[in-house]
Amino acid sequence: MPWSELTVKEQREEFVRLASPADANVSDLCRRYGISRKTGYKWLGREDLSDRSRRPHMSPSRTAGELEAKVLALRAEHPAWGGRKIAHVLARDEGVQLAPSTANSVLRRHGLISPAASQAATAWQRFEHEAPNMLWQIDFKGHFPTDAGRCHPLTMLDDHSRFNIVLHALGGESMQPVQQVLKDAFERYGLPERINADNGPPWGSPDGSLTTLGAWLIRLGVLLSHSRPSHPQTNGKEERFHRTMLAEVISTRRFKHLDDAQRHFTQWRHVYNFKRPHEALGMQTPANRYTASRRSMPTRLPEPQYASSDLVYRVHDGGRIKFKRRLWRVGRALIGQSVALRSRSDLDGVFDVYFCHQKVATIDLNGDC
């Protein structure tokens, strides 16, 4: 599991960050992290969780050479970071007051910023949801070779905070391993209101019908939405995260196998969530804006619940229901499940088909089945 690959200090830091808000459910978070309430409150009372330096905020005697060395050392540790991030982290962690332009000058002087990179560093403006866990974006970051085979990184991001919920090295894109990774994430961070994915498997299908993974998410009470075909920008924050991930971790090293890739992913994920300042967040880290969901992962998968006014039918072989003496396709992923039909007030003879809370099909008695 990726959680066990974090250091003890990093696990404590993540727990404390999520449990610190006044409205956080500390007991629930203790259960998710597998610790007692006594241990959880002990961690909350500790002052030595962060790695901030104890040096004074002002260092008037520091020479220009020392400042330059610090800029270069931080750049060597994070080769994709620019002057703004480096200056912010030096001020935050070491009390070093340095203008971003000065940090960029140091980088340019040492040939670490090309003119093309400067021209490409343009700000992105995107819509974001007003609170954490209202929307999570999920996708695979393509795939790349390791010495033992190909790695398919599965990633999931909170829309409001950019907090990385999932970063997992998988050997393929089949449903079962993806479902297990999502289950682990839900048990740690709770359930989101909605997940947005592209139209490919395992969460989407070319004909737009519901997949087995999609049906599982819906039964958990998660609304599932899909990006418009050929419009990857719908999951824009995921796309930007993938660019950052490629620059800061994938393209900088060679991986032996999936476990080796996961080890590097886990280390970088903690840096991304808790250390790396994000310009779109006003130089805050994603962890500064993220809080765990109050909706816990249920121990048993809930059964669909419908209103007394709904017309409820069971889905038979072939993913069809029998209604008005005709067979209607609603999706093979729903075989054995019950769905609800609700008549449209604006269209005579038209019924929307719902599985739990989500519309999955439309039946038009005036057309073909």
Largest Cα span, the chain = 88
Domain boundaries, the chain: 2-45, 64-120, 136-289, 311-364
Q: How far apart are CA 275 and CA 286, in angstroms?
A: 9
Written as one string, the DSSP assignment of 18-83 is HH-STT--HHHHHHHHT--HHHHHHHHH-S-SS----S-S--TT--HHHHHHHHHHHHHHSTT--H
Q: Which residues does 6 contact at the CB level (< 8 Å), separation at least 6?
A: 14, 266, 270
Q: Which residues does 208 contact at the CB level (< 8 Å), separation at least 6?
A: 199
Q: Is the dihedral angle over the CA atoms 165, 167, 170, 174 positive or is it negative?
A: positive
- Is 155 in a helix, a strand, or coil? strand
Residue 287 CB: number of other CB atoms within 10 A?
21
Whole-model pTM: value is: 0.75
In tens, the pLDDT along 193-225 reads 999 998 888 998 877 789 999 999 999 999 999
Residue 249 DSSP class: I
* Helix-helix angle 100-109:64-77, to 10 degrees: 80
Are 157 and 137 a contacting pair, CB within 8 Å?
Answer: yes
Whose tokens are 């209607």? That residue is 328
Whole-number pLDDT of residue 215: 95
Residue type, 232: P
Whole-number pLDDT of residue 230: 52
Whole-number pLDDT of residue 229: 59
Q: 136-289 belongs to which homologous superfamily?
A: Ribonuclease H-like superfamily/Ribonuclease H (3.30.420.10)
Whole-number pLDDT of residue 49: 60
Q: How far apart are CA 188 and CA 353, in angstroms?
A: 33
All residue ranges of the chain with pLDDT < 50 are 1-3, 51-52, 54, 59-62, 119-120, 122-125
- Is 355 in a helix, a strand, or coil? strand
In the numeric block, which tokens belong to residue 210?
Answer: 């519901």
